[in-house]
Amino acid sequence: MMKISEFAEFTQRSPRALRLYEELGLLTPHERTEGGFRLYHADQATRLAYIDKLQALGCSLADIQQLIESWQSQGNAAQGMRALEIAYLEKLKEVRSALTKLKEVEQELSDSIAFLQGCHDCTIEVEPTQACAHCDRSEAHPSDLIRGISEPSSKHRSS
């Protein structure tokens, strides 16, 4: 058994964070001493890993609190697991959507880098904001990450 300061060090959390998790119902000390000290068992680090994983999925502490409360309030184990499954299926949809967007951004970055590598030997003697407008590679169809930065700003349009 570990006191809160020891458990905080063991889990690389602050005692303040552990007290917050307790206040939100996300973590419960294994027991309390007669003096009121919180005691934790090393196995309780599993709950913290669970919280970390859910936060990595974009869940706030309030979301996690709601998920745990929903799971605990079910009438029996099967209902609890079904509620958890439904929540995880929704999260999986969100993650897959985010991955699709990230793959699109990854491709755009790769295309942009490939285009920019063709600019290494550029000899056009104009400001960077004007370079692409004078470039003979305009038929290469640069990505939005290139066109967007080389698009003249309102400051340059008036000059």
Q: Which two tokens stand for residue 119?
A: 């600019």
Question: Residues 146, 115: contact at Cβ < 8 Å?
Answer: yes
Would you say residue 134 lies in a domain? no
Domain interval for residue 50: 2-59
Q: Which two tokens stand for residue 84?
A: 């958890």
Would you say residue 146 lies in a domain? no
Q: Can you give the CATH number for the domain in which 40 is found? A: 1.10.1660.10
pLDDT of 157 reads 46
The answer, yes or no, to whether residue 159 has pLDDT greater than 60, is no
**Digit-coded pLDDT (tens) for 34-78:** 888 899 999 999 999 999 999 999 899 999 999 999 999 999 999
pLDDT of 44 reads 92
Would you say residue 54 lies in a domain? yes
Least confident of 10-19, 29-38, 107-116, 134-143: 134-143
Number of domain units in the chain: 1
Does the reported pTM lie above 0.95? no
Q: Which two tokens stand for residue 29?
A: 């000390």
**Digit-coded pLDDT (tens) for 86-98:** 999 999 999 999 9
